[in-house]
Structure 1
């Protein structure tokens, strides 16, 4: 029960009022900068190598390798970043960034979902969630974290943030 409550607390911190992603980010062009790229038209895949940098508005991804898998529908591409670690950064509307890192980051553009695997971390300010797998929906502000075979999920947050969460929850109950 205690683990469940701390997961609820950290989710509340990550989804605090006005902490939505900058909507303008998703209207910006995606720019990929890399040392090398390979294209497979047959597989509808472009793979970038060597210090890969991706930007889209305030979104920034860095990886050793990035595969972009296309689909019939524009805007439904999937990006799979791999690195030691690969990183993701996005500024939220409240001016507080979300930062993520893992050995693999899967970013599904259509659903705006990040799936972090292998030594995954998701951080906003001093709040931190660590696990073997973290799935985070940017739009829905929902997160699921799982430990691995020999590891558990770790959540770290400050007492001040717990007070803010409690106040936020009380305001929501009054409405």
Structure 2
């Protein structure tokens, strides 16, 4: 049985790592997500969950539903790696794993991939296997997408996808002035 101090430390590690993970797993960066999402509680449901304090891992398996504010992640497996209490990696897997999140501007961002890996040190999200990102009507898809949280840089495709003959596909819709509400003229 865990001693209360150890259980408390592990619970603190789990809460901190999950909170940080969901902030970053939004895949679109904190700056675009709803401002108050980060203050919302993290909720995770799964068929099973395993925590290994010695290794610093949390593994949720089977019909995983993870939410924080407007962020929702659906996956077959969600793995959090935080050796020595320091968050290193978060991995969501599925066929595909999905996320969606409401942005401050009202648009919905969503994405899917067979595997989504967030590396804390690099502040980078790598989506592999039929990856797709959508923001409103704009879409980018590739077998490999990298998103750098800190600077908003996105890269799609790599040497591996080129060798397989897979291409990057992007659809961007221009902003139409007719779609914007007109401001009444001032007399």
TM-score scaled by length of structure 1: 0.71
- Identify the residue that residue 144 of structure 2 maps to in structure 1: 133
Preserved contact between residue 57 and residue 83 of structure 2 (Cα < 8 Å): no
Q: Gaps (5+ residues) in structure 1?
A: 1-14, 165-175
Would you say how many aligned residue pairs link Structure 1 and Structure 2? 144
Give, in angstroms, the shift of residue 53 of structure 1: 0.6
Tell me the TM-score normalised to structure 2 length: 0.67
CA RMSD of aligned residues (A): 2.5
Deviation at 1:110, TM superposition (A): 7.5
Match of 1:33 in 2: 45
1:101-116 matched pairs, under 5 angstroms: 101-108=112-119, 113-116=124-127
CA offset at residue 38 of structure 1?
1.6
Secondary structure of the residue aligned to 2:36 is helix
Gaps of 5+ in 2: 1-27, 178-187
Post-superposition Cα deviations, 1:6-29, rounded to whole Å, max 9, x if no partner, equal xxxxxxxxx9xxx72223222333
Q: Secondary structure at the match of 1:83?
A: strand
Residue 68 of structure 1: how far off its partner (Å): 1.2
Instruction: Map 1:109-124; keep pairs closer than 5 Å.
Output: 113-124=124-135
Q: CA deviation at 1:112?
A: 6.2
Give deviations 1:90-143, integer Å, cap 9, x for gaps. 111101011110000123567764321111100112111011111224553321
Note if 1:95 corresponds to 2:106. Answer: yes
Alignment-derived partner of residue 82 in structure 1: 93
Matched with 2:24 is none
